[in-house]
Structure 1
Amino acid sequence: MTVVLHELSKTYEATAGAVTALDGVTVQFPESTFTAIMGPSGSGKSTLLHCSAGLEPSTSGMVTVDGTVLGELGGDALTRFRRDRIGFVFQDLNLVSSLTAAQNVALPVRLAGRRADDTAVTAALAEVGLADRARHRPHELSGGQQQRVAIARALFARPAVVFADEPTGALDKATSGQVLSLMRRLVDEHGRTIVLVTHDPVAAAVADRVLLLVDGRVTEELTGADAAAVSDRMTMLERSC
């Protein structure tokens, strides 16, 4: 298994008392699979992603990525592990405007003090269909092309898993479809593992399965559901909350 969550819980302290964002979540994200996570607002989707990716610690439970228990890593070791074994794609792309597409892809490696192999950078851009845009800066690319550069950057270190938080949220329908098709191909043709947090049933339906979160708990798993079925189930959940 690429990612295993065991009894994962996360509690925040607030003025009105403790708030439980995750409540004993146990789930696996196997290698070469595409999982979407959906749920009503405040259900714990982003917290689940952040804890799974080691961006914030859980209150209890365990996260194992590619055989490594994240809670057993110190600060520097966790930073290195995230950089080398975990990829991130967010709605806010965080591309550096003064750098070319190729330089943006190589940036995490350069920040780590390592030289980025030019051939590998070109291959990463080719994997997302942008080999001919290597010298273009973000303002010279469309929104979908910018998102594909962000995906190439996330894939560059060949991570065990890529976590994506609403990566199509700011894109139009056509461009969103292109990015989702790319993510689907990365799983099917290149064996990538992707975990996607989304509010969009169309995006979720591209995945192999959809996990539904309510009040910090996984309440249901959908497989083989189309966008309409996912949307109907989400509507029922939201009405019951």
Structure 2
Amino acid sequence: MRLRSVSKVYGSAPRSVTALDSVTTEFPVGSFTAVMGPSGSGKSTLLHCAAGLDRPTSGEVLLGGTDLGGLDETKLTELRRERIGFVFQSYNLVSALTAAQNVALPLRLAGRRPRPSEVDGALAEVGLGARGTHLPSEMSGGEQQRVALARALVTRPAAVFADEPTGALDSKTSRDVLTLLRGVVDRHRQTVVMVTHDPVAASYADRVLLMVDGRITEELTGSLTAEAIATANRRGTSC
């Protein structure tokens, strides 16, 4: 997945707000990228544009050679269902559906009849193979987030986008969810892009993009520690 000179402007002059300012970056296949920055830096807008949830004002977003800007709403919706998975801080599970039914939902929305093996396999991968018949209200926050991850993975998407996936979880449960995301990359060569404010969460990634005022100001790679990430993030926001 690639972004070329992507800008996103909200409103019109003189009160327009530039959320993204000519951002160019790439999310290679089988990579885990964390995006950090202060509130209003553009990190969530970057994720939304890359995932096809929002259209950029200018520039190109390409997924496997497909320019998302050239798709109408119907084709864009189909692409999101088939090739992109989403995990959000608030889980976004349907309360009246069981864990298995929530996981099967993307397949049903795509007009497919889910195979039990697909749904059971996705739940087993996140450690919830025995919880398929439980409602969200019967599960902990960490279990609900793992159901949300299984739902994102059931279509075997090319990319998984996670927006503060551990923001509502305690530290132990956060580690469990991050380990699962790391495993998605290592075992299945899927691409994960995660927005986070937490340097510990970011340390699970292969690289970290630091954003300020709608621009990527620094890219961290190599052996990433939470301390080094936090220091770089503070340095970037103080400039």
Structure 2 equivalent of residue 234 of structure 1: 233
Question: Quick one: percent identity of the two aligned structures?
Answer: 62
Structure 1 equivalent of residue 224 of structure 2: 225
Distance 1:136 1:15 in 2: 51
Structure 2 equivalent of residue 187 of structure 1: 185
SS of the residue corresponding to residue 134 of structure 1 reads: coil
Distance 1:67 1:138 in 2: 38
Matches within 5 A, 1:43-122: 43-122=41-120
TM-score by length of 2: 0.96
Distance 1:128 1:219 in 2: 34
5+ unaligned residues in a row in structure 1: which ranges? none
SS of the residue corresponding to residue 11 of structure 2 reads: strand
Offset at residue 15 of structure 1 (A): 7.9
Distance 1:166 1:37 in 2: 10
Distance 1:189 1:108 in 2: 22
Distance 2:84 2:184 in 1: 15
Matches within 5 A, 1:13-24: 13=11, 17-24=15-22
Offset at residue 228 of structure 1 (A): 0.5
8 A Cα contact 2:126 2:146, kept in partner: yes
**Paired letter, 1:231:** A
Structure 2 equivalent of residue 152 of structure 1: 150
Cα deviation per residue 1:4-44 (whole Å; 9 max; x = unaligned)? Answer: 00010111116851111111111000011100000111110
Structure 1 equivalent of residue 5 of structure 2: 7
5+ unaligned residues in a row in structure 2: which ranges? none
**Paired letter, 1:228:** E
Q: Which runs of 4+ in 1 moved over 3 A?
A: none
Distance 1:126 1:188 in 2: 17
TM-score by length of 1: 0.96
RMSD between aligned residues: 1.2
SS of the residue corresponding to residue 230 of structure 2 reads: helix
8 A Cα contact 1:40 1:237, kept in partner: no
